[in-house]
Amino acid sequence: MRVPDDGRGLHPSSFWAIIEAIYKWELIHMSAVREHVLSNGMTILCWHNPYLHGVEMGLYLRAGTIYETEETQGISHLLEHLCFRGVGDLNHESLQRTLNRFGADMEGMTTAEAIVFRLTSLPRYFDGMLELFTKFFAPNFWSPEDIEKEKEIVLRQIEQAEEDFDEMVDRAWRETPAGVFPRMGSAEAIAKLDNETIWNWQRLVFQPQNACLVLTGNFSIGMEETAIEVLAGLENYTSEPPFAQHIPLGFCMRDAESDLIVDSADPDSQAQVHIAFDIDEDNVFPLAARIVDAITAGNDDSILFQTLREEEALVAEIESYIQEMGQFHRLVIRYDVRQEKLVESLRKVFKYLHRLSVYVRPIRLEQVRSHFTVGHALTQDNISEMNELAGWAWVAGDASRADLDAQAAQLNDLSPEELLDAAQTIFRPENLVISVERDPEIVQENLDELFLELRGLL
């Protein structure tokens, strides 16, 4: 920015005008995510906010049950566990001392499509945090003793795990041509995993072309450049990326065979309802899908929340959300209801879904714009939300999902007609899976026939 100089120095009012302009420029561009794809295939996403105290690093790696087989099921979750036994040249005790020096705990998680590690601390620990994350890619393998100890821990977790209705529904959504497996795998598969298989998967998962490092919060351009330089020096173990996601079985080709009816084991429980619509992103813009979700049951002013909860008191709570699994997404409507009200509630839900696919009131789009504007602003006050948004955008294969500036512009340009088109494209029978857990002693209606009737409304 060049400032005219009259030779007599800068007037105080001009000085403060420049400061104000810089501040406004930073606010406008704060949400811009800078993407760096390195020569080794690794991606770095940087989302800077100088008004926060902390900095967060998140390491996102493609792995999980959708890439596993009958023999390797649960191996991704085991790898995540083993990283807390030690990474690179750090054993468990050295790793804990390092984390204590940062005044932080490292979070780890395994999902159907990724392994994630996140660490939050202060900017002065940036170099140490970066060094720690590079150790994940070091050619050091866990000892047979550490592997056996961690396998025993995972086996104890499997013994305590109980499959509930939601896990049953999600498992069906995760099915691939290789099969469908629990996140932790089966006890038999974990027990049979040999060290060579585990070490081979360590090489496949922990290589730069299979990874994204996300930096969010208060860091300098110099720190960003250092991360690029250091991570560009990492080497791959394979010539090509190790994992390619398969399309979920039956995606956007659903019919009555896709539906699920489960008998409840608890006679005092409520019926559980899970209604899911696959989202064909070749025909539905991601932001439009999020807005359809918001007006369906995504907030307290949504259609289903206001009618089924506030007006008719049929349900205590009802929600909708976009469920992601890598590159594939679906809109989920979830609620519990008294057994004797199950059929009535389903008919009313589908009545309102039919209305949404016929007409969307313009006022609803305006209301959603306000919610999204506030939500986007508040996201930038939370480095963990920023990190998750950027990291999962990379896992989905589209880092632009984290560009809130672009989304704000798209939201302003979105018309009610385009929103209606998105609703009509989503709420179709070929996208629909209806899953219900009910007590057959109370709910005696033929649900298969009811589900066919409901599909006919779309």
Tell whether 270 and 133 lie within a shared domain.
no
Q: Is residue 241 part of a domain?
A: no
- State the DSSP string of 35-68: EEE-TTS-EEEEEE-TTSS-EEEEEEEE-SGGG-
- State the DSSP string of 138-200: SS----HHHHHHHHHHHHHHHHH----HHHHHHHHHT-BTTB---TT--HHHHHH--HHHHHH
Residue reference for tokens 């709420």: 427
Q: Which pLDDT score, from 0 to 100, does residue 4 have?
A: 42
Instruction: Give, to the nearest 10 degrees, the angle between helix 195-205 and helix 75-83.
Output: 80
The tens digit of pLDDT for each residue in 178-211 reads 888 999 999 999 999 999 999 999 999 999 999 9
Tell whether 123 and 261 lie within a shared domain.
no
Tell whether 47 and 182 lie within a shared domain.
yes
Q: Which pLDDT score, from 0 to 100, does residue 14 have?
A: 61
Q: Which pLDDT score, from 0 to 100, does residue 49 have?
A: 92
Q: Is residue 25 part of a domain?
A: no
Tell whether 180 and 285 lie within a shared domain.
no
Q: Is 66 exposed, middle or buried (0-12, 13-18, 19+ CB in 10 A)?
A: buried
First to last CA, the chain: 56
H/E segment holding residue 391: helix 383-395
Q: Is residue 49 part of a domain?
A: yes
Q: Is residue 123 part of a domain?
A: yes
What is the tally of structural domains in the chain?
2
Task: Please list the ranges in the chain whose pLDDT falls under 70.
Answer: 1-31
Q: Is residue 1 part of a domain?
A: no
Q: Is residue 117 part of a domain?
A: yes
Tell whether 382 and 309 lie within a shared domain.
yes
Last residue of a domain, one of 232, 267, 301: 232
| Residue 90 contacts residue 135 (beta carbons within 8 Å) | yes
Domain containing 400 — which CATH number?
3.30.830.10
Tell whether 172 and 267 lie within a shared domain.
no
Contacts of 379 (CB under 8 A, 6+ apart): 385, 386, 389, 404
Tell whether 392 and 312 lie within a shared domain.
yes
Contacts of 115 (CB under 8 A, 6+ apart): 60, 61, 63, 64, 76, 79, 80, 108, 109, 205
Instruction: Give, to the nearest 10 degrees, the angle between helix 362-379 and helix 383-395.
Output: 110
Amino acid at 358: V
Tell whether 170 and 318 lie within a shared domain.
no
The tens digit of pLDDT for each residue in 15-55 reads 666 555 554 444 444 458 999 999 999 999 999 999 999 99
Q: Is residue 281 part of a domain?
A: yes
Tell whether 227 and 260 lie within a shared domain.
no
Q: Is residue 20 part of a domain?
A: no
Q: Is 319 exposed, middle or buried (0-12, 13-18, 19+ CB in 10 A)?
A: middle
Tell whether 267 and 392 lie within a shared domain.
yes
| Residue 182 contacts residue 74 (beta carbons within 8 Å) | yes
Tell whether 224 and 347 lie within a shared domain.
no
Domain span holding position 198 = 30-232
Amino acid at 381: D
Q: Which pairing describes strands 43-48 and 211-217: parallel, antiparallel, or unpaired? A: parallel
